Amino acid sequence: MPALPDLLTIGELGQRSGAAPSALRFYEQLGLIRATRTGGNQRRYERAALRRVAFILAARHLGVPLEEIRVALATLPIERTPKAADWARLSARWRRRLDERIVEIQSLRDKLTSCIGCGCLSLQRCKLLNSDDKVAARGAGPRILYPEGIDASANVPDASSARSLRASV
Protein backbone atom coordinates (compact mmCIF):
# COMPACT_ATOMS: atom_id res chain seq x y z
CA MET A 1 0.00 0.00 0.00
CA PRO A 2 1.50 3.38 -0.99
CA ALA A 3 2.22 5.91 1.73
CA LEU A 4 -0.26 8.75 2.05
CA PRO A 5 1.11 12.24 1.47
CA ASP A 6 1.75 14.18 4.64
CA LEU A 7 0.35 17.42 3.23
CA LEU A 8 -2.74 17.98 1.13
CA THR A 9 -3.32 20.67 -1.48
CA ILE A 10 -6.42 22.80 -1.17
CA GLY A 11 -7.95 20.83 -4.06
CA GLU A 12 -7.24 17.51 -2.34
CA LEU A 13 -8.62 18.75 0.96
CA GLY A 14 -11.72 20.05 -0.80
CA GLN A 15 -12.25 16.81 -2.70
CA ARG A 16 -11.73 14.64 0.36
CA SER A 17 -13.83 16.79 2.73
CA GLY A 18 -16.58 17.90 0.36
CA ALA A 19 -15.93 21.56 1.18
CA ALA A 20 -15.40 24.08 -1.61
CA PRO A 21 -11.90 25.58 -1.83
CA SER A 22 -13.44 29.01 -1.23
CA ALA A 23 -14.93 27.72 2.03
CA LEU A 24 -11.55 26.26 3.03
CA ARG A 25 -9.85 29.61 2.41
CA PHE A 26 -12.57 31.29 4.49
CA TYR A 27 -12.14 28.75 7.31
CA GLU A 28 -8.42 29.41 7.21
CA GLN A 29 -9.02 33.17 7.34
CA LEU A 30 -11.18 32.66 10.45
CA GLY A 31 -8.51 30.49 12.07
CA LEU A 32 -10.61 27.31 11.99
CA ILE A 33 -7.96 25.45 9.98
CA ARG A 34 -4.34 26.18 9.26
CA ALA A 35 -2.25 25.85 6.12
CA THR A 36 1.45 26.04 5.55
CA ARG A 37 2.84 27.60 2.38
CA THR A 38 5.20 26.22 -0.20
CA GLY A 39 8.01 28.27 -1.74
CA GLY A 40 5.51 29.16 -4.49
CA ASN A 41 3.00 30.35 -1.84
CA GLN A 42 0.62 27.42 -2.40
CA ARG A 43 -1.43 26.20 0.55
CA ARG A 44 -0.68 22.81 2.08
CA TYR A 45 -2.81 21.29 4.83
CA GLU A 46 -1.91 18.72 7.45
CA ARG A 47 -4.00 15.56 7.28
CA ALA A 48 -5.54 16.62 10.62
CA ALA A 49 -7.36 19.36 8.68
CA LEU A 50 -9.64 16.68 7.20
CA ARG A 51 -11.10 15.90 10.61
CA ARG A 52 -11.32 19.57 11.54
CA VAL A 53 -13.22 20.34 8.33
CA ALA A 54 -15.56 17.40 9.01
CA PHE A 55 -16.10 18.82 12.51
CA ILE A 56 -16.87 22.27 11.07
CA LEU A 57 -19.29 20.89 8.49
CA ALA A 58 -21.11 18.74 11.07
CA ALA A 59 -21.47 21.71 13.44
CA ARG A 60 -22.67 23.98 10.60
CA HIS A 61 -25.23 21.34 9.65
CA LEU A 62 -26.57 21.63 13.22
CA GLY A 63 -26.85 25.39 12.77
CA VAL A 64 -23.91 26.32 14.98
CA PRO A 65 -22.50 29.75 14.02
CA LEU A 66 -18.90 29.82 12.80
CA GLU A 67 -17.85 31.99 15.75
CA GLU A 68 -18.99 29.31 18.20
CA ILE A 69 -17.21 26.67 16.13
CA ARG A 70 -14.04 28.78 16.25
CA VAL A 71 -14.27 29.05 20.04
CA ALA A 72 -14.84 25.29 20.34
CA LEU A 73 -11.94 24.40 18.04
CA ALA A 74 -9.67 26.80 19.92
CA THR A 75 -9.86 24.38 22.86
CA LEU A 76 -8.20 21.67 20.74
CA PRO A 77 -4.58 21.40 19.71
CA ILE A 78 -4.34 22.38 16.03
CA GLU A 79 -1.75 19.72 15.26
CA ARG A 80 -4.02 16.77 16.00
CA THR A 81 -7.37 15.63 14.74
CA PRO A 82 -10.44 16.09 16.93
CA LYS A 83 -11.33 12.75 18.47
CA ALA A 84 -14.76 11.30 19.30
CA ALA A 85 -14.38 12.41 22.92
CA ASP A 86 -13.66 15.97 21.74
CA TRP A 87 -16.79 15.97 19.58
CA ALA A 88 -18.88 14.56 22.45
CA ARG A 89 -17.64 17.23 24.86
CA LEU A 90 -18.07 20.11 22.44
CA SER A 91 -21.34 18.99 20.90
CA ALA A 92 -22.97 18.61 24.32
CA ARG A 93 -23.06 22.42 24.42
CA TRP A 94 -25.07 22.46 21.20
CA ARG A 95 -27.51 19.71 22.09
CA ARG A 96 -29.82 22.02 24.08
CA ARG A 97 -29.96 24.49 21.19
CA LEU A 98 -30.79 21.67 18.78
CA ASP A 99 -33.55 20.40 21.10
CA GLU A 100 -35.01 23.93 21.23
CA ARG A 101 -34.92 24.17 17.44
CA ILE A 102 -36.71 20.83 17.15
CA VAL A 103 -39.51 22.10 19.40
CA GLU A 104 -39.75 25.34 17.38
CA ILE A 105 -39.86 23.46 14.08
CA GLN A 106 -42.52 21.04 15.36
CA SER A 107 -44.59 23.99 16.55
CA LEU A 108 -44.19 25.67 13.17
CA ARG A 109 -45.24 22.44 11.44
CA ASP A 110 -48.33 22.15 13.64
CA LYS A 111 -49.33 25.75 12.99
CA LEU A 112 -48.73 25.37 9.28
CA THR A 113 -51.13 22.45 8.96
CA SER A 114 -53.87 24.49 10.64
CA CYS A 115 -53.42 27.11 7.97
CA ILE A 116 -53.39 24.93 4.85
CA GLY A 117 -56.26 25.69 2.54
CA CYS A 118 -57.81 28.55 4.49
CA GLY A 119 -56.10 31.23 2.46
CA CYS A 120 -56.94 33.85 5.08
CA LEU A 121 -53.45 35.11 5.82
CA SER A 122 -55.18 37.25 8.41
CA LEU A 123 -52.80 38.67 10.95
CA GLN A 124 -55.66 38.67 13.43
CA ARG A 125 -56.57 34.97 13.13
CA CYS A 126 -53.53 33.27 11.61
CA LYS A 127 -51.99 30.76 14.00
CA LEU A 128 -48.81 30.74 11.92
CA LEU A 129 -48.07 34.47 11.67
CA ASN A 130 -49.81 35.80 14.76
CA SER A 131 -50.02 32.91 17.19
CA ASP A 132 -49.22 34.78 20.39
CA ASP A 133 -50.84 38.16 19.80
CA LYS A 134 -52.27 38.73 23.27
CA VAL A 135 -52.34 42.53 22.84
CA ALA A 136 -54.91 42.27 20.02
CA ALA A 137 -57.59 41.38 22.59
CA ARG A 138 -57.19 44.89 24.04
CA GLY A 139 -58.38 46.53 20.81
CA ALA A 140 -57.01 48.26 17.76
CA GLY A 141 -54.12 50.69 17.74
CA PRO A 142 -50.71 50.83 19.41
CA ARG A 143 -51.80 49.44 22.78
CA ILE A 144 -48.28 49.11 24.14
CA LEU A 145 -47.48 52.77 23.46
CA TYR A 146 -50.91 53.99 24.61
CA PRO A 147 -52.24 51.50 27.20
CA GLU A 148 -55.35 53.62 27.92
CA GLY A 149 -56.17 53.82 24.23
CA ILE A 150 -56.17 56.66 21.78
CA ASP A 151 -58.97 59.14 21.34
CA ALA A 152 -58.92 59.47 17.57
CA SER A 153 -60.89 62.73 17.68
CA ALA A 154 -58.24 64.32 19.92
CA ASN A 155 -55.71 64.24 17.09
CA VAL A 156 -58.03 65.70 14.43
CA PRO A 157 -58.15 69.50 14.51
CA ASP A 158 -61.50 71.19 13.99
CA ALA A 159 -61.96 73.82 11.29
CA SER A 160 -61.28 76.84 13.54
CA SER A 161 -58.04 75.44 14.95
CA ALA A 162 -56.91 74.52 11.42
CA ARG A 163 -57.51 78.15 10.31
CA SER A 164 -55.58 79.54 13.27
CA LEU A 165 -52.74 77.09 12.60
CA ARG A 166 -52.50 78.27 8.96
CA ALA A 167 -52.61 81.92 10.07
CA SER A 168 -49.71 81.44 12.48
CA VAL A 169 -47.49 79.86 9.81
Residue 51, pLDDT above cutoff 90: no
pLDDT at position 73 is 87
**For residue 167, is it within any domain?**
no
d(CA 139, CA 36) in angstroms, rounded, equals: 65
**For residue 35, is it within any domain?**
yes
pLDDT at position 142 is 61
97-118 as b/e, with b when 16 or more CB fall inside 10 Å?
A: eeeeeeeeeeeeeeeeeeeeee
**For residue 164, is it within any domain?**
no
Give this prediction's pTM: 0.59
Residue range of the domain that includes 135: 7-146
**For residue 117, is it within any domain?**
yes
Tell which wins on pLDDT, 4 or 68.
68
In this prediction, residue 7 has a pLDDT band, given cuts at 50, 70 and 90, of very high
Eight-class DSSP state of 46: E
Supply the DSSP string of 149-168, one letter for each residue.
---GGGGS--HHHHHHHHHH
Eight-class DSSP state of 89: H
CATH number at residue 119: 1.10.1660.10
Sign for the CA dihedral angle at 48, 50, 51, 57 comes to: positive
Cβ–Cβ contacts within 10 Å for residue 160, how many? 8
pLDDT at position 43 is 93
**For residue 162, is it within any domain?**
no
Residue 113, pLDDT above cutoff 70: no
**For residue 18, is it within any domain?**
yes
The H-assigned helical ranges of 20-65 are 21-30, 48-61
**For residue 86, is it within any domain?**
yes
Give Cα 116 to chain centroid, integer Å. 27
Q: How many domains does the chain have?
A: 1
What mean pLDDT comes out for the span 65-77? 88
pLDDT tens, position by position, 78-107: 666 778 888 888 888 888 888 888 998 888
**For residue 23, is it within any domain?**
yes
- Under 8 Å between Cβ of 21 and 33: no
pLDDT at position 169 is 43
pLDDT tens, position by position, 149-164: 555 444 444 444 444 4
